A and B are shown apart, each in its own frame.
Chain A
Amino acid sequence: GDSVTQMEGPVTLSEEAFLTINCTYTATGYPSLFWYVQYPGEGLQLLLKATKADDKGSNKGFEATYRKETTSFHLEKGSVQVSDSAVYFCALVQGGGFKTIFGAGTRLFVKA
């Protein structure tokens, strides 16, 4: 079945460091891919998405490119801030499907 694999956390970075959180997926067809973020004590919020191969999603300085050849959707940010400390979830939905499959989540700590 469909699945999403994320790099294990926690990831600890200093402020202004470069961030990469790896995400790979297994799916038949052409899923849509998402990154959601969960701040402490809150529900998930959509960070960015991409619906087809080579699409780049971007928001709040975060970017991810849908790579079909490597079945990946890695999250990147050039300069992290303390306020980016949260849990990040990679997810997929099959085209026309109703089920969202989430990765295990990666916790990010950013130190001042």
Chain B
Amino acid sequence: DSGVTQTPKHLITATGQRVTLRCSPRSGDLSVYWYQQSLDQGLQFLIHYYNGEERAKGNILERFSAQQFPDLHSELNLSSLELGDSALYFCASSRTSGGAYEQFFGPGTRLTVL
């Protein structure tokens, strides 16, 4: 158990819908990272927050957005969903931001878009 929690574990929805994925980092960790893992694209970095502020953006679509709240939990919002958005979405946390700090990964949310 990494100490990072993600909810829900599974999510099944239809094209065009909007969903919210939630992540709670390990106690004391200020950084949160979101990743998308799919069979064809592999593991892709989406976005990184540190203590409530966005620090880096990766391959995140404009239909996707995220935020980190004052209690440090984070939410990833996916809207106008398409079939190709079906993937595993991982959240990771680390003590601070950047560099060689170890990231601790949650168990992931499996999103299926029908």
Q: CB within 8 Å of B: which residues of A?
A: 32, 34, 36, 41-46, 49, 51, 89, 93, 95-105
Cross-chain contact B105 with A44 (CB below 8 angstroms): yes
Cross-chain contact B42 with A102 (CB below 8 angstroms): yes
In the complex, chain A residues whose CB is within 8 Å of the CB of B43? 44, 89, 102, 105
Q: CB within 8 Å of A: which residues of B?
A: 2, 4, 33, 42-45, 48, 50, 55-56, 58, 90, 92, 97-100, 102-108
A to B CB contacts below 8 Å, 7 in the list: A43-B2, A43-B105, A44-B105, A45-B2, A51-B100, A105-B42, A105-B43
* Measured CA separation A103–B45 after assembly (Å): 11
In the complex, chain A residues whose CB is within 8 Å of the CB of B90? 43-44
In the complex, chain B residues whose CB is within 8 Å of the CB of A43? 2, 4, 90, 92, 105-108
Q: Identify which of B42, B44, B98 contacts A93 (C-beta below 8 A).
A: B98
In the complex, chain B residues whose CB is within 8 Å of the CB of A49? 100, 102
Known A-B contacts A43-B2, A102-B42; A97 and B103 likewise in contact (beta carbons under 8 Å): no
In the complex, chain B residues whose CB is within 8 Å of the CB of A51? 100
Cross-chain contact B102 with A46 (CB below 8 angstroms): yes
Known A-B contacts A43-B106, A45-B2, A46-B103; A100 and B42 likewise in contact (beta carbons under 8 Å): no
